[in-house]
A and B are shown apart, each in its own frame.
Chain A
């Protein structure tokens, strides 16, 4: 069935550096992808909606300049955490809808640790 691949699964970086996370739809095209952040023992918070060929739509309170989203093709969206700080340490998950239905397909997530 349809699969969303997210890479890397884990990353450790130093404070002040940038980290890029990729989200790919493997056997379907996704004009829209969603990026979520999950805090420990908390629910998923939608950060932004990635739109192929246009600017991402960010949720209130999410810094656009810190969390850069690029959706350059119908199968790839990237989230770049710029100038990372320890408080950015979290679990980031992407999701993509298949054929316009609800975002049923999730990546396995990326565990980011900023030291």
Chain B
């Protein structure tokens, strides 16, 4: 079945450091890919998305490129801030059936000042 694998956390960085959170997927066909962010005590918010190969999603300084050849959708940000501390989830949307979201296990990110 479809699945999403994220890099193990937690990840701790200093402010202004470069961030990469790896995400790879296994899916039938070409699903849509997403990154969601969950701040402490809150629900999920869509951070960015890409719907086809080579698409780049971007938002709030975060970027991720849909790489079909490596089945990856790594999240990057050039200079992180303390306010970026949260849990990040990579997800894919199935293209058949109920088209539900399949999530990775989440990566907890902590940014120290």
Residues of A within 8 A of B (CB): 6, 32, 34, 41-44, 46, 49, 57, 93, 95, 97, 102-109
Rounded to whole Å, the gap between the CB of B57 and the closest CB of chain A is 12
> Number of contacting residues on B, CB 8 A?
21
Determine whether the beta carbon of B98 is less than 8 Å from that of A102. Answer: no
Given A102-B34, A102-B49, A108-B43, A43:B89 Cβ within 8 A: yes
**Which chain B residues border A102 with CB–CB below 8 Å?**
32, 34, 49, 93, 99, 101
**Which chain A residues border B102 with CB–CB below 8 Å?**
46
- The verdict on B42 contacting chain A, using a C-beta distance below 8 Å, is yes
Determine whether the beta carbon of B43 is less than 8 Å from that of A34. Answer: no
Given A41-B108, A42-B105, A106:B43 Cβ within 8 A: yes
Rounded to whole Å, the gap between the CB of A19 and the closest CB of chain B is 18
- From B32, B36, B42, B44, name the one whose CB has the most chain A CB atoms within 10 angstroms: B44
- From B49, B98, B104, name the one whose CB has the most chain A CB atoms within 10 angstroms: B98
State in angstroms the CA–CA spacing of A108 and B42 once bound together: 5
Determine whether the beta carbon of B100 is less than 8 Å from that of A46. Answer: yes
**Which chain B residues border A42 with CB–CB below 8 Å?**
105-106
